[in-house]
Amino acid sequence: MNPEDLAAALLAVIVPLAEARREGASEGLTAADLPLDRPKNRDHGDWASNAALKLAKVVGTNPREFAAAIAAGLETVPGIASVEVAGPGFINIRLDAAAAGSLAKTIVDAGASFGTNESQRGNSINVEFVSANPTGPLHIGHTRWAALGDSIARLLLASGATVAREFYINDAGAQMERFGRSVLAAAKGQPTPEDGYAGSYIEELARRVLAARPDLLDLDEDAQHAVARDLAYEFQLGELQASLEKFHVQFDVWFSERVLHAEPPDGGPSLVDEAVDRLRAQGHVFDDEGAVWVRTTDFGDDRDRVIRRANGVYTYFAADAAYYLSKSDRGFRHKIYLLGADHHGYVHRLKALAGAAGDDPDKDVEVLIGQLVSINGARLSKRAGNIIEMDDLREWLGTDALRYSLARYPADSPLTLDPELLRKRTNDNPVFYVQYAHARTHNVARNAVASGVDRSEFAPELLTHETESALLGALQEFPRIVAFAAEVREPHRVARYLEELAGLYHRWYDNRRVIPLGDEPVEAVHHTRRWLNDATGQVLRNGLGLLGVDAPERM
């Protein structure tokens, strides 16, 4: 019996009891309104509900008396062993062993789909993260957002949402011109321009540009700059994409800012031009002293924003507006932005923009601000000189350790990672602890096959040991953990759950044997424990997958 089945049974018991006390008291009541929690003390049962406390006032009765009536009804439900009323009206429910143990087969049969749910069904969500300038390598801050953004997208997909991972390429503006001048100077053997980009990666790009265009220095000055800029941009963007793929992050959309400013092939206004007209049609644009403004203060911004200056030049806000509207035009009602700690000022701006576009700022836009991350002993990049590169971190600590550790903490918490710990192959290292538990399930399965213990029998009523009850209880929680982590955009909840599950599995392994000792015969209990072993491995594997972390079969 899973939590959904139990909630449905609870609803079926409560409705007639509530109606008998007050007609209409259960109107609109659903199973989702009846919370079920895992008691911290396993002596209190498998599940607990405060439904009687929650509904007593509506029903017009004493909470404890109502709880007693509910308990009496639940005791007749197949699969429930006992029900007790505690305190002012808490209901503690204990399942019989067969009902609880049946979950092991459910998980194995479901395989990779176990944990998926429909809680986000119908939501079309654009998740924009990383979005680094294509003028240099990805650094440690981008690394954190890559791990978190990708994990959030995986959780949303697992919960039924339509999701696009999007990278906004900031490839228009002054930084691209500085980038082009920097690469061209390196190609000519000249010093880096005063406002340019330095580092050996610029020299590497210059060599690649010269290899691709041996005639570069024969061109006129403007053409030299354009060729150096555009080829170096192409090469550097490829470097960013390769770095992310090695980090197990793939984007569905790479959106170029240039598209926003480009005139359509058939003529007509650019997307930025259209954005001004569309916001004006919503009634939130006004003109003042030759400039065009958006009245963003109508939606909580600290000041109105200029979208086009008096000289006719668009501001960055214009590109932001056009980009936001582009996401809506592509069918994404909900937009999630993951921004760095230095982007707090964007929160009000983006929400005001949503309001000016006719959307609901509280529902349609979500901005997650991440805090700084540091790693003790990490050295600055040899290529870039002033940053800690993603590639260096990945090669030093490994993709799995880095992704797991970055997803293990809330985005809004400053984070310092211990590289010595992350490189240890001991239980002190959280990612090793979880991966080792998964590898152990496979080792047990391999040894079981050699000993004749397969999954040909399943007798869930035999899973009666306290470690089995605790392990099954944790396995049962996985779909709810996934759904909640997706709802609140917090992958760390999955990581912490996996660590708890790994601990329960190790304790079960120490107390119950899948393989008989010595000459003992293989019995139904051994086959059944094999199901539980494999179910645990499946959930560990599914959970690690949501974090973009490998689940090794041997360690």
pLDDT at 349: 87
Q: Is the same domain home to 444 and 365?
A: no
Spell out the residues 6+ positions from residue 212 whose beta carbon is closer than 8 angstroms to its own.
Answer: 231
How does residue 403 score in pLDDT terms, banded at 50, 70 and 90? very high
How does residue 370 score in pLDDT terms, banded at 50, 70 and 90? confident
Please indicate, yes or no, if residue 341 is contained in any of the structural domains.
Answer: yes
User: How many angstroms separate the CA atoms of 242 and 125, rounded?
Assistant: 25
Please indicate, yes or no, if residue 367 is contained in any of the structural domains.
Answer: yes
**Is the pLDDT assigned to residue 381 strictly greater than 80?**
no
**Is the pLDDT assigned to residue 474 strictly greater than 80?**
yes
Q: What is the mean pLDDT of residues 235-257?
A: 97
Q: What is the CATH number of the domain that holds 46?
A: 3.30.1360.70
pLDDT at 455: 97
Q: What is the mean pLDDT of residues 155-180?
A: 96
Q: Is the same domain home to 447 and 482?
A: yes
Q: What is the mean pLDDT of residues 427-431?
A: 94
User: How many angstroms separate the CA atoms of 153 and 162, rounded?
Assistant: 10
Q: Is the same domain home to 137 and 255?
A: yes
Per-residue pLDDT tens over the stretch 210-226 = 999 999 999 999 999 99
Q: Is the same domain home to 144 and 30?
A: no
Please indicate, yes or no, if residue 369 is contained in any of the structural domains.
Answer: yes
**More confident: 166 or 25:** 166
Please indicate, yes or no, if residue 213 is contained in any of the structural domains.
Answer: no
pLDDT at 88: 94
pLDDT at 376: 87
Q: Is the same domain home to 324 and 358?
A: yes
**Is the pLDDT assigned to residue 46 strictly greater than 90?**
no
Its domain, for residue 21, covers: 3-95
Report percent pLDDT > 90 for the chain: 86
Q: Is the same domain home to 458 and 523?
A: yes
Q: Is the same domain home to 463 and 330?
A: no
Q: What is the CATH number of the domain that holds 517?
A: 1.10.730.10
User: How many angstroms separate the CA atoms of 306 and 460, rounded?
Assistant: 67
Per-residue pLDDT tens over the stretch 63-111 = 999 999 999 999 999 999 999 999 999 999 999 889 899 999 999 999 9
User: How many angstroms separate the CA atoms of 299 and 283, rounded?
Assistant: 13
pLDDT at 107: 97
Q: DSSP letter string over 110-140?
A: HGGGBTB-STTTT-EEEEE-----TTS--BH
How does residue 384 score in pLDDT terms, banded at 50, 70 and 90? confident
Please indicate, yes or no, if residue 237 is contained in any of the structural domains.
Answer: no
Q: Is the same domain home to 87 and 109?
A: no
Per-residue pLDDT tens over the stretch 491-532 = 999 999 999 999 999 999 999 999 999 889 999 999 999 999
Mean pLDDT of the chain: 94
Q: Which of 373, 396, 415 is the last residue of a domain?
A: 373
DSSP code for 177:
H
Please indicate, yes or no, if residue 225 is contained in any of the structural domains.
Answer: no
Please indicate, yes or no, if residue 460 is contained in any of the structural domains.
Answer: yes
**Is the pLDDT assigned to residue 481 strictly greater than 90?**
yes
Please indicate, yes or no, if residue 192 is contained in any of the structural domains.
Answer: no
Per-residue pLDDT tens over the stretch 274-300 = 999 999 999 999 999 999 999 999 998
CA atoms within 13 A on the CB side of 128: 25
**Which of 367, 433, 478 is closest to 103 using CA atoms?**
478
Q: What is the mean pLDDT of residues 119-142?
A: 95
Report percent pLDDT > 70 for the chain: 100
Q: Is the same domain home to 114 and 161?
A: no
How does residue 387 score in pLDDT terms, banded at 50, 70 and 90? confident
pLDDT at 8: 93
Per the structure, how many domains does the chain have?
3
Q: Is the same domain home to 129 and 31?
A: no
**Is the pLDDT assigned to residue 246 strictly greater than 90?**
yes
**Is the pLDDT assigned to residue 40 strictly greater than 80?**
no
Q: What is the CATH number of the domain that holds 323?
A: 3.40.50.620
Question: In the chain, what is the greatest distance between 2 CA atoms, to the nearest angstrom?
Answer: 94
pLDDT at 187: 98
Q: Is the same domain home to 161 and 261?
A: yes
**More confident: 201 or 412:** 201
Q: Is the same domain home to 268 and 332?
A: yes
pLDDT at 234: 98
